[in-house]
Structure 1
């Protein structure tokens, strides 16, 4: 049974009118109360009913988890370009990888768009299915209840990454996990596990860590302490933080530890050494997501046709190299993390 406004009001200890204003007119609710209501709504999985739309708006909504991540701007441009080619505009929202912010964005956007594209949604599957029952919806790098979905296939790219490290002589590898609940991380990790097992490589799974440079910095000492000769990070930002902190500790990439990222953002080729990474074809994925949504709007057919999968590919650069006999720890004492 779907969570109602009355459920949220009762749990939060406020009136139904306060809950309604929190989502519909947030500037008219005290900041402390608004934050409390949003937290309760997220905990319960509540998403407010969108305003009814009697006419076509000519716009689609795009919700991303982190607009600061260099992975997303090229994708946003691809979605906008494809939508414009089909005479649609886009509304953009950043959820800050937070389900409550995502739910609030849905409430605001639904009044202004004909359909929604969720990229790496943090909302529960049942909530996404409920939204799709009221607003045409397409998911990217996420699956839920047979909804139209575009996914970057983890299998090929992650397999290529592990096989690349194996060919360089690595037998002990770390995988640096993203936070729990990140759908793409679950699939990337599974592909790494399968390939390591098939090749007889030892896999050390670490984390979770934030999908950010700071997350990679936090992971670096733990990666080094496990004595691995290679590490695969869940995305490029994590890999970059890992490389920077390993260098601060006096370790060389790739001479002491090889590092692989995922995404192939523009920053990967700016690093020194340049980052070896699994390329996610954001242009193709963004265009496919728009086409799926607009075709859904035109046909109204919500039948489960299965996910549309897009291949990923390893891009070999300078951050991976042949394994050495052992990690060359610096002769000077390691500095503290402070």
Structure 2
């Protein structure tokens, strides 16, 4: 059976060869119905574009790269799936780089992959701003959760969700709370810390901040001693993984959630599967990945318009890990002094 060609796809779909080419390389220039018709015809015929030929004729590789700090973190794995699905819909393959939370490795990945991709989606970058701008001057870059003027960006605004969580805790009688954050170089963690601090002050709550370091289950579990020492009755964690670690550390000490302590997470990826189910701020991770890919590919198709930015609002989802503040322990009772004997009874 002969290998299907672009000419055969065009004839079967009733369109020009240029339209077939655009359906794979620049689908945003066509109507969704035309793109669906062309791609459906190509799939039925078994047609696959020649990426080498396309790269030679268009100067495009048909690939983009997604650079993540930690692919094992549920937030970034969900973001990755959203980005890959959107890239596939638009005819692009996705390279993946895991920077292991290090700025140096981000720098290396951006440099080494540049020759093989048409642009980058850089999620929660740890790099300093000048280095990000240096790479963006060489290849198109869209950043997620880093607000850099002049660079395409998708910002997940979880501040309102954390504000709502503080209001919830205040209404439940909590007077001392903690924010457990990622390294302070993290834009999203800084944003969440500011929201908790401001909302706490507005509602008369005492707020302490504890740095968990690299967000992980172990980091959450290890910070429990500090939470208890600080005398707080609730913790808001930078993500669900850290929140789950906090719940595990409390359980190891015989404390119940939410009876003895309330916990709030963020991302809402694993929150419904914890025990108890975790109150969490839904960060719409997959949508953030898809929007970033759209920004990048739209910019490749038409680089002249002003740089765009998308803001996604996070919302609080209340579940079973938050409850009324525990009643304060009764003050220890002093020993009653012995009664003086009745003088009249003395012999």
How high is the TM-score relative to the length of structure 1? 0.78
| Cα deviation, residue 155, structure 1 | 2.1
Aligned to 2:174: 170
| Cα deviation, residue 304, structure 1 | 4.2
Structure 2: which 5+ runs fail to align? 1-56, 331-347
Aligned to 2:286: 283
Output aligned runs, 1:240-255, within 5 Å.
Answer: 240-255=244-259
Q: What per-residue deviation string (whole Å, max 9, x for no partner) do you get for residues 289-326 of structure 1?
A: 01100111111137344x31101011111111011213
2:234 to 214, 230, 233: 230
Aligned to 2:313: 311
Aligned to 1:92: 96
1:320 to 297, 304, 322: 322
Q: What per-residue deviation string (whole Å, max 9, x for no partner) do you get for residues 254-297 of structure 1?
A: 111100011111x2222111111111101221111011001111
Instruction: Give, in whole Å, the separation in 1 of the partners of 2:291 and 2:145.
Output: 12
| Cα deviation, residue 237, structure 1 | 1.0
C-alpha contact (below 8 Å) 2:69/2:99 kept by paired residues: yes
2:201 to 197, 202, 205: 197
Number of aligned pairs?
274
Work out whether 1:150 is the aligned partner of 2:160.
no
Instruction: Give, in whole Å, the separation in 2 of the partners of 1:210 and 1:327.
Output: 34
Output aligned runs, 1:1-338, within 5 Å.
Answer: 55-265=59-269, 267-301=270-304, 303-305=306-308, 307-326=309-328
Instruction: Give, in whole Å, the separation in 2 of the partners of 1:180 and 1:153.
Output: 17
1:232 partner SS: strand
How high is the TM-score relative to the length of structure 2? 0.76
Instruction: Give, in whole Å, the separation in 2 of the partners of 1:171 and 1:250.
Output: 22
| Cα deviation, residue 231, structure 1 | 0.6
| Cα deviation, residue 251, structure 1 | 1.1
| Cα deviation, residue 208, structure 1 | 4.4
Instruction: Give, in whole Å, the separation in 2 of the partners of 1:223 and 1:138.
Output: 37
CA 258–67 in structure 1, closer or farther in 2 if over 3 Å, else same = same
| Cα deviation, residue 74, structure 1 | 2.1
C-alpha contact (below 8 Å) 1:256/1:326 kept by paired residues: no
2:223 partner SS: helix
C-alpha contact (below 8 Å) 2:158/2:315 kept by paired residues: no
C-alpha contact (below 8 Å) 2:122/2:143 kept by paired residues: yes
Query: Which ranges of 4 or more aligned residues in structure 1 deviate by more than 3 Å?
Result: 302-305
2:116 partner SS: coil
| Cα deviation, residue 165, structure 1 | 0.9
